[in-house]
Structure 1
Amino acid sequence: MRKALSGIFSKSAWSFRTLATAAMAATFVLTAANVSYAARDAAIVVDANTGKTLYASNANARRYPASLTKMMTLYLTFEALAKGKITKSTQVPFSANASAEPPTKLGVRKGSSVSVETAILSMVTKSANDSSTAMAEMLGGSEANFAQMMTAKARALGMNGTVFRNAHGLPNPGQFTTARDMATLGIALREHYPQYYDYFSQRSFMYGRQRINGHNRLLGRIKGVDGIKTGYTRASGFNLVSSVAVDGRRLVAVVMGGTSGASRDNQMAKLINAYLPKASKRGGGDLIAKIDDNSPVRALAKVILPKRDAPTPDSRPDAGEVVVASAAPALVAAPEPKKAVAAAASEPADIPFAQAYVEPETAHAVDPVKTASLPSGWVVQVASSPSKSDAEAVLDKTTRQARTVLADASGFTMPFSKGGVTYFRARFSGFDNQTAALKACNALKKKRIECFAIEQ
């Protein structure tokens, strides 16, 4: 009897230890996930008349820009327009590389072209990745060369914490920025190219017979907001740069790493409401020096936005802080790759563009999600096939059958492996939330199109 009881208690103790260990491990993983996600938060509010920093939180910490990248692509486009190298009607050719970019995209076929103005509007509103690559290839000869041009321009503007590797913002572990640098770029866009700045206030545009709606929900919602750009990848979280002008007061504000489009927008609205009354009505001239590329000595920013005159409620991160995307595609974030962190932390604050970030060897160090600026993570799946062409054919057929239902959606394929075979999911993105995705799927089912809504 004693032995039996001893065995029972022994087993119970073992079970308890096992459960306790599992619980502690789960708590550690969840905590790590929360820390990893919280590490993406960053924000700054700058008085665009004086350059004074009114608010900052993790403003100098390294972050993934996502589609905020397109702000620099547009800056270089405006520069080419201003110098007469191109016109608004110049045709932008789409290579196979540009046409193959994942959503969101305009959907221009290989060998076709659109005007510069259409490409600009598609980048501003739809955040079109294919247009960004096509423009980069036209202006830079190749996207890789254009990325070097982008980084060089960033340095010239005083954006010392930024390196660009592509023109659209799709995941790349070597592409990073800071909230402060994005504020600098936002100010430079208005100051240097006011003749083109109104593009950022576009809420929609017509592409053929289709109306393309934008992702910036603050336009028309918050008084004085006139741009600039949204951005999203799973690794970056939800990003937004906003410009505001009311009664002579002007702000540029940046929010990075939001948990959703709605929470990001709400945070931005709170910052604008809190700090716009504190902004000056008087300016002191241009804050960012214009750059003469023909000069043997490249001009630097005339005013580097102040770093120490802001109330900073949150503790400032270490200078070597870096965000490395978690291993994918898991609901719980994995620990950061130590090798990647060590490599990044050893870099100086000002990295020459020719000696940019060395990418980690592990291919999974960057999040595999192939979207740059979707307004939410909800998609509608209509098919899955071992053939990519078949999956794309289903997307085309579904789009033709349900043009009204999918007017604001973008079709794309997403590969996945099962049993050693690669399959391709046929999905539509561009839904604000679960309700919108479910509503679209129900409408498709009424047309006898099988589907389901899922958060990717």
Structure 2
Amino acid sequence: MVGATFMRAAVAVLAVSLLGAGVAEAASKKKKSVRAKSAVTRSVASTGTWHRGYSHIVVDANTGRILDADNADALRHPASVTKVMTLYLLFEQLESGRMRLNTPLRVSAYAAAQQPSKLGVKAGSTISVEDAIQALVTRSANDVAVVIAENISGSSSSFANLMTRRARQLGMSRTVFKNPNGLPSPEQVTTARDLATLGRAVQERFPKYYGYFEARSFQYRGVAIRNHNRLLGRVDGVDGIKTGYTNASGFNLLTSVKKNGRYVIAVVMGGKSAASRDNQMVALLNENLGKAQSGRQMVARMSGPPQGASADEAVAPVALVDETPAAPKTIPVPTSSPRVAMASAVADVVSTGSIPTPAPSPARPTQAVASAPAPNAPPVGSAAPIVPVAVKTVAVARPSQPVASFSNQPGILGTLSFTNGFVSDASEAPAAAPAQRAIRQQVQVASAGPIEIPRQDAENADQSAAPRSGWAIQIGAFGSEADARAQIAKAQQKAGSALAKADAYTEQAVKGSTRIVRARFAGFDAESAARKACQALKRSDFGCMVFRN
């Protein structure tokens, strides 16, 4: 009896243990399945996403030692720092003799249609290699970057593939390029560490051409274009190299310092503003420069072509390939600081709100055409109708000397230049006289959240209104009337007192087939009043440019 009882108890214990093991195994399999599913989800979600955040690195280039780093290997977007690689490949062409500084580079319609910041080169024209180098270093010209790419590889996409291959050969293991200028693309990524490698490579291999990065200004057709890099002249020993900004990347800066035998490369990515980025870089240099080794370089110099580079050599000139720009991807605007990114002669900025798609470049025959088409005529073989463009000429007072005045903050789409003594818009160059639209009532905004702008009389305003006189300011250029008015409304909310007597208006301009709408305030009786308004706007994180009508 007792034996039977023990036997039943043993069987019961065994059954419970087997049941528990089965449950545990099932739970384990379920957890593994969940982990596997989440891993797949993460992998899918990571494609096409924007990589935001701050990172920096400070490298002693004499020893290769990392002096300071924060998220140095995290993926970030390079923005206009991309152009350092574009120039690296152009310097290769110069070093090999395939190009010279006076070699003319042909401008395609696709290149001319790039978004600002830009030099404003015209389709069918040429620009010399030396001017192209300086345009990238100072203006950070997106159009000229594409000109370089097309003249080396035939198309932007082929050139971007070459950029990525060269990055790998240099040891930039996490960098991928999709275009030569840094305009927004979720797939165009790099790291602070990779950019520091590029900063070393470009100056150690091309010391003859690296000096261009130290230029503080560039004279192009009689107009002085200032370098965006504000550390030049501010920090002793800084000799370059490149700034960058898009809404997704934040404010980036790649810097080189040589002082008292010390050689340091530093990178800051994801700054909240140009000023804070520069201040952070100065702080990093002040803290770490003294830690760097003084004397000769102990690590191998990157003075030769990387292994495998010879296989990428192409024979110039390269026939340009017709490129049709893809529709731009949606570019998110940070909710904490909904700044509208704009381009200027002051900072590397691109339009991040509503970006109009550039017109597709017309098909180009591989053989030279015997005679040039008449003005406004479609390309040979095109079925597109001829669209007449009305042109209105407005006389503008000639300035005493060709000097343009800019604000010292980023955020201006459009830059003023003077050609033959008349005022023009160098970065936009409208084909027709702009129509000014008066905003007849001020829009009051209650919050900084999403803003519903009512349709105002401005929509029906006389487009042929006479140009305004006196001093004025511009706070941006946009892809639609609604976007321009929304920015005006935000400016009135943030700096209402400074703009109380100003006349808010929008102005249309056309570049190629792309229409832009400028957001402006006029009616300032003196330059000092306009500058005071700009200062108030800049304190509220707006871009602002002062000009005289």
How does 1:377-416 map onto structure 2 within 5 Å? 404-405=403-404, 409=416, 411-412=427-428, 414-416=478-480
Change (3 A) 1:392 1:184: farther
Deviations 1:155-190 (A, max 9, x none): 000001100000000001110000000000000011
Distance 2:258 2:175 in 1: 26
Unaligned runs of 5+ in 1: 1-35, 299-324, 335-366, 380-387, 448-456
Cα pair 1:171 1:368 within 8 Å, conserved:
no
Distance 1:77 1:290 in 2: 13
**Residue aligning to 2:285:** 272
Identity across aligned pairs (percent)?
43
Q: Which of residues 291, 296, 313 in structure 1 aligns to 2:306?
A: 291
Change (3 A) 1:85 1:204: same
1:397 CA displacement: 6.7
1:425 is the counterpart of 2:517: yes
Distance 2:537 2:391 in 1: 21
1:391 CA displacement: 12
1:375 CA displacement: 2.1
**Residue aligning to 2:276:** 263
**Residue aligning to 2:224:** 211
Cα pair 2:227 2:346 within 8 Å, conserved:
no
- Whose helix fraction is larger, Structure 1's or Structure 2's? 1
Change (3 A) 1:401 1:108: farther
**Residue aligning to 1:50:** 63
1:67 is the counterpart of 2:80: yes
1:183 is the counterpart of 2:183: no
Cα pair 1:328 1:368 within 8 Å, conserved:
no
Cα pair 1:164 1:174 within 8 Å, conserved:
yes
Amino acid at match of 2:305: K
How does 1:295-444 map onto structure 2 within 5 Å? 328-329=332-333, 331-332=335-336, 371=343, 375=347, 404-405=403-404, 409=416, 411-412=427-428, 414-416=478-480, 424-426=516-518, 434-435=534-535, 443-444=547-548
Change (3 A) 1:294 1:265: closer
1:295 CA displacement: 5.4
Distance 1:67 1:214 in 2: 13
1:149 CA displacement: 0.2
Cα pair 1:51 1:287 within 8 Å, conserved:
no
Cα pair 1:232 1:372 within 8 Å, conserved:
no
Distance 2:297 2:241 in 1: 21
1:50 CA displacement: 1.2
SS of corresponding position for 1:106: coil
Amino acid at match of 2:297: G
Distance 1:392 1:106 in 2: 25
Q: Give the TM-score normalised by the residue count of structure 2.
A: 0.55
1:65 CA displacement: 0.4
Change (3 A) 1:74 1:221: same
Distance 2:248 2:395 in 1: 30
**Residue aligning to 2:104:** 91
Cα pair 2:108 2:124 within 8 Å, conserved:
yes
Give 1 or 2 for the bigger CA radius of gyration.
2
Amino acid at match of 1:62: L
1:232 is the counterpart of 2:245: yes
Unaligned runs of 5+ in 2: 1-48, 314-328, 352-358, 360-386, 407-414, 417-425, 429-476, 484-513, 521-530
1:125 is the counterpart of 2:125: no
